[in-house]
């Protein structure tokens, strides 16, 4: 099954099911700062963004640290994480707002993006 079809199936199943998910979350920062993301935008570790494997670009997600109960709203602009068992990679700024270097979070989808590639 191609990556595109697999992503489409997962995204459609997410749309038809609950919008709250839990899993391990990490962050990425200075190594990628200033580089182009999978959505075409330039990664800024100081903005409130995140990487997810299949959600459409532009999707708004509320991420809550299960331990501290702190929340942040992020925009999906990149693909990842690429480490097994993780569901989300936050920008350094977003991770800092919820005190998360590597933590367990819940992820609530607030709105779905259009998934378009944006050259900025």
3-state secondary structure 84-110: CCEEEEEEHHHHHHCCCCEEEEEEEEE
Give me the number of domains the chain comprises. Answer: 1
Model confidence band, residue 116 (pLDDT cutoffs 50, 70, 90): confident
pLDDT at 8: 60
User: Which CATH number characterizes residue 98's domain?
Assistant: 2.40.40.10
Give the tens place of pLDDT for each residue, 88-107.
Answer: 999 999 999 999 999 999 99
Residue 53 lies in a domain: yes
Residue 119 counted as domain residue: no
Rounded to the nearest integer, the mean pLDDT of the chain is 88
On whether residue 120 sits in a domain, the answer given is no
Q: Is residue 30 assigned to a domain?
A: yes
Nearest 10 degrees: CA dihedral of 116, 16, 109, 53?
A: -50
Lowest mean pLDDT across 62-66, 71-75, 81-85: 81-85
E strand map for the chain: 20-28, 49-51, 60-65, 71-78, 86-91, 102-111
Task: Tell me, yes or no, whether 67 lies in a domain.
Answer: yes
Residue 104 has which token pair?
């367990």
Examine residue 21 and state whether it is found in any structural domain, yes or no.
yes
Q: Is residue 116 part of a domain?
A: no
Domain that holds residue 29: 3-111
User: If DSSP codes are grouped into helix, strand and coil, which group holds residue 15?
Assistant: helix
Q: Is residue 19 part of a domain?
A: yes
| Whole-angstrom distance, CA of residue 5 vs CA of residue 39 | 18
If one compares 44 and 7, the residue with the highest pLDDT of the two is 44
Note whether 78 and 37 are within 8 A (CB): yes
Cis peptide upstream of residue 99 (ω within 30 degrees of 0) = no
Measured between alpha carbons, how far is residue 31 from residues 34, 54, 100 in Å? 9, 23, 18
Q: Which two tokens stand for residue 28?
A: 């990425």
């Amino acid at each position: 099954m191609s990556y595109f079809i697999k992503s489409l199936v997962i995204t459609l199943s997410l749309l038809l099911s609950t919008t709250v998910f839990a899993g391990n979350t990490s962050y990425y920062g200075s190594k990628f700062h200033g580089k182009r993301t999978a959505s075409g935008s330039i990664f800024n570790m100081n903005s409130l963004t995140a990487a997810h494997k299949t959600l459409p670009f532009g999707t708004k997600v509320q991420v809550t640290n299960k331990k501290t109960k702190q929340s942040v709203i992020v925009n999906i602009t990149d693909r990842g994480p690429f480490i097994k068992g993780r569901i989300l990679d936050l920008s350094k700024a977003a991770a800092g707002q919820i005190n998360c270097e590597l933590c367990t979070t819940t992820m609530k989808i607030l709105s779905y993006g259009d998934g378009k590639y944006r050259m900025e």
